[in-house]
Structure 1
């Protein structure tokens, strides 16, 4: 179970979010292993190319590097296959410092010097790398554990150096004597321990803040994904990132192309099917027709019974929205002509398309809100769809859409004019030839 801030351990973090956080932490464990591998390979390369100093005893460096490489590869292989358990993560920290401090302690044996000789090894600086590595996990407890092991291990080495040389004046207060002889300067060792503690505390504070941001980012990302099931993704992301409650009444005015789709004969079919089979069939059809709409950059605004309303260029920008809507309609007609749904049911769809200025925004009452678009252009698109029955067409669109899409891009065919209620001027109507005779429009950029 990942450690999260107290405020985050609440019903606001359901199991799926905790699983998402664990997945992020597991990815961090793999990253730690990769960084460790890079570190040990770098150290090995530097040791291999550096001149070997004269020493009366064999160097323990290759053995320490080999041991660290073995631990690193084991840990990395483990994290690639499954989640690293907490005990293994803690054991990895202990192994890191045991190998490092063991190597440092061996220096006085290698060079036949008093134990205080090992305390002056600059190799101690690698301890900070091992502490900083745990920041990648973004979990406070592992950073604190690494810092605690670093401090405790070094304090143990200091104790060993002092304990074995009490009668040999191993402790000194003379800084010059400390630098020129095998003596222990307690103030200097205290500075090392204090620096380790300070670095650990600073990193712990940074990780605590990063941990809260990780939980918040996970919650917001999940919120956007869940909202996108009920709202257009562009709107869901906006709502999830908002610092205040999303306001109603804030409309966005923009040119857009509206597509209405309705299934032919579905009411009769619905009367013959049991409810579970009807819902399954309807979902299958919706999934099929939504794919071309989204592929061409459109956004499904509403599902109304067996009808679909989609928008192009609002709320998701699309520079070539009219042509994209027509291309989506042609793809849908090809799909309906070739596909069988459910247990082999053949269905047909009528589509009406119009282009114009619309306003989009959140509407509703209280806590129940929905995103939709309004305007005369929307009304005309809705009225064009049923007119397909009168003209014997499958796709019916306005002159505004034809002009916006480009007169030469599709095989347009005029079918007549209609005086729509509420309009004083007749609206020219067009259809497009079968998909195989039409040139495909460019997809959204």
Structure 2
């Protein structure tokens, strides 16, 4: 019983649910609903133009003696539709306006049907046979475009109330010559009413309304969930490189720890010099402001050269080239990014000073190329997409060696030669053979890319 009560309240409220959806998701749902209302307006306008054109070019029905209300109904509906469409582009249409719109739709349709007995000078039972009643389903279907069962239910209920009103008027009309019959032929050919036929029409409208409402109730729940997942996927792209985010969201099966592949790639590691000691002297907001300036600059340089930021490590940045998406120039791109980052930081000192950094902001960056494993690590409840391999470790060790080598950008000669083979043309500032690098047991031939 409680479940049924909650479902009824959910339908009447129209959602989204009171809990479980962030404000940004609610805003996106509201934007989609506003777009749906504009779509409904355009469809209504297309329909009224179509029927107006059909009315103009079609031969006139014979036998009409009274006043013809069709042009007035079409003209009124055209003006109302244009006004409603224009308002939908100015602001989000409130629910009371949408309910009035539904009533106007049905009132015009019911009024048009009612006018037939006047136009053709027939007993009101005459309009009960009109095929114009079928237009009710167009209005009900239009409301389904919003994916909100409330408006479909309202449209169906108003249509049923209007039709019942027409039936009652026909039954109790004092024009004479009407009687209730059970003879279907007499019903079709004379001024008589077959109660079963009118019940059938009413039940069909009710059944279509209920079935569409149930379908929309289910579809609306899926819409909320899909919108939330879409928002989460968009947020994911801000935490991961777009290619990584796509590999997660577009995976045919759920990712599991231990899945990965071997790639030839280059790893770039960058770090701010004396960041810990200097940041201890600054307010937290200034530290974060400086980090934001630096990281925005670094990401711009890395992305421009075709790299992807794997992760931010405090003031450190780990970026990959050719790991997420295979590349034929991964080493060359990484070296260009390392040099470009060193130069960009030197040119952006005013930005860091304005953000609150008291000294010259200096960085160290290094590149190492080689085979890496790209994949998912972690536990069943907490996964991380990352790169593992000797090139990752060497990049970190080479970056740390910048301090001893008094350099800004560093790589090993093997990575430099590979980059040149891939089209890299930037010269090395200095080649230092058989250098000692902490954490690497054997001497390394180093290439200084920037002092």
Give me the TM-score of the superposition, normalised by structure 1.
Answer: 0.84
Which region of structure 1 is more displaced relative to structure 2, 323-332 or 125-134? 323-332
Distance 1:43 1:283 in 2: 59
Asked if structure 1 preserves the Cα contact closer than 8 Å seen for 2:36 and 2:145, the reply is yes
Q: CA deviation at 1:5?
A: 9.5
Match of 1:49 in 2: 57
Query: How has the CA–CA distance of structure 1 residues 181 and 230 changed in structure 2, closer, same or farther, with 3 Å as cutoff?
Result: same
Distance 1:51 1:171 in 2: 34
Deviations, residues 243-265 of structure 1 (Å, cap 9, x unaligned):
99864343443333211112345
Pick from 197, 203, 210 the counterpart of residue 194 of structure 1. Answer: 203
Unaligned runs of 5+ in 2: 1-8
Asked if structure 1 preserves the Cα contact closer than 8 Å seen for 2:258 and 2:376, the reply is yes
Deviations, residues 218-275 of structure 1 (Å, cap 9, x unaligned):
2212333444454555555666678998643434433332111123454564355333
Distance 2:351 2:92 in 1: 42
Match of 1:171 in 2: 180
Q: Does 1:351 align with 2:338?
A: no
Query: How has the CA–CA distance of structure 1 residues 329 and 53 changed in structure 2, closer, same or farther, with 3 Å as cutoff?
Result: farther
Pick from 341, 348, 351 the counterpart of residue 341 of structure 1. Answer: 351
Which region of structure 1 is more displaced relative to structure 2, 198-207 or 393-402? 393-402
Q: Does 1:415 align with 2:431?
A: yes
- For residues 38-437 of structure 1, what are the structure 2 equivalents within 5 Å? 38-54=46-62, 55-164=64-173, 167-236=176-245, 247-267=256-276, 269-270=278-279, 272-315=281-324, 320-339=329-348, 340-344=350-354, 346-364=360-378, 369-388=383-402, 394-398=408-412, 399-400=414-415, 402-403=417-418, 406-413=421-428, 415-418=431-434, 429-430=446-447
Distance 1:241 1:383 in 2: 35
Asked if structure 2 preserves the Cα contact closer than 8 Å seen for 1:173 and 1:185, the reply is yes
Asked if structure 1 preserves the Cα contact closer than 8 Å seen for 2:410 and 2:450, the reply is no
Distance 1:248 1:267 in 2: 33
Distance 1:190 1:298 in 2: 69
Match of 1:17 in 2: 25
Distance 2:234 2:10 in 1: 22
Give me the TM-score of the superposition, normalised by structure 2.
Answer: 0.83
Asked if structure 2 preserves the Cα contact closer than 8 Å seen for 1:2 and 1:18, the reply is no
**How large is the Cα RMSD of the aligned pairs?**
3.5
Query: How has the CA–CA distance of structure 1 residues 2 and 268 changed in structure 2, closer, same or farther, with 3 Å as cutoff?
Result: same
Match of 2:6 in 1: none
Distance 1:4 1:417 in 2: 77
Query: How has the CA–CA distance of structure 1 residues 185 and 3 changed in structure 2, closer, same or farther, with 3 Å as cutoff?
Result: closer
Unaligned runs of 5+ in 1: 435-445
Query: How has the CA–CA distance of structure 1 residues 210 and 116 changed in structure 2, closer, same or farther, with 3 Å as cutoff?
Result: same
Distance 1:402 1:125 in 2: 77
Deviations, residues 266-290 of structure 1 (Å, cap 9, x unaligned):
4564355333312211122112211
Query: How has the CA–CA distance of structure 1 residues 292 and 64 changed in structure 2, closer, same or farther, with 3 Å as cutoff?
Result: farther
Distance 1:402 1:45 in 2: 74
Q: CA deviation at 1:2?
A: 8.8
Query: How has the CA–CA distance of structure 1 residues 80 and 3 changed in structure 2, closer, same or farther, with 3 Å as cutoff?
Result: farther
Query: How has the CA–CA distance of structure 1 residues 35 and 426 changed in structure 2, closer, same or farther, with 3 Å as cutoff?
Result: farther
Which region of structure 1 is more displaced relative to structure 2, 157-166 or 425-434? 425-434
Which region of structure 1 is more displaced relative to structure 2, 31-40 or 415-424? 415-424
Query: How has the CA–CA distance of structure 1 residues 125 and 336 changed in structure 2, closer, same or farther, with 3 Å as cutoff?
Result: same
Asked if structure 1 preserves the Cα contact closer than 8 Å seen for 2:329 and 2:422, the reply is no
Secondary structure at the aligned position of 1:168 is classed as coil
Secondary structure at the aligned position of 2:65 is classed as coil
Secondary structure at the aligned position of 1:135 is classed as helix
Secondary structure at the aligned position of 2:353 is classed as coil
Q: CA deviation at 1:15?
A: 3.1
Deviations, residues 148-171 of structure 1 (Å, cap 9, x unaligned):
112221121122122216852343
Distance 1:171 1:326 in 2: 92
Secondary structure at the aligned position of 2:365 is classed as strand
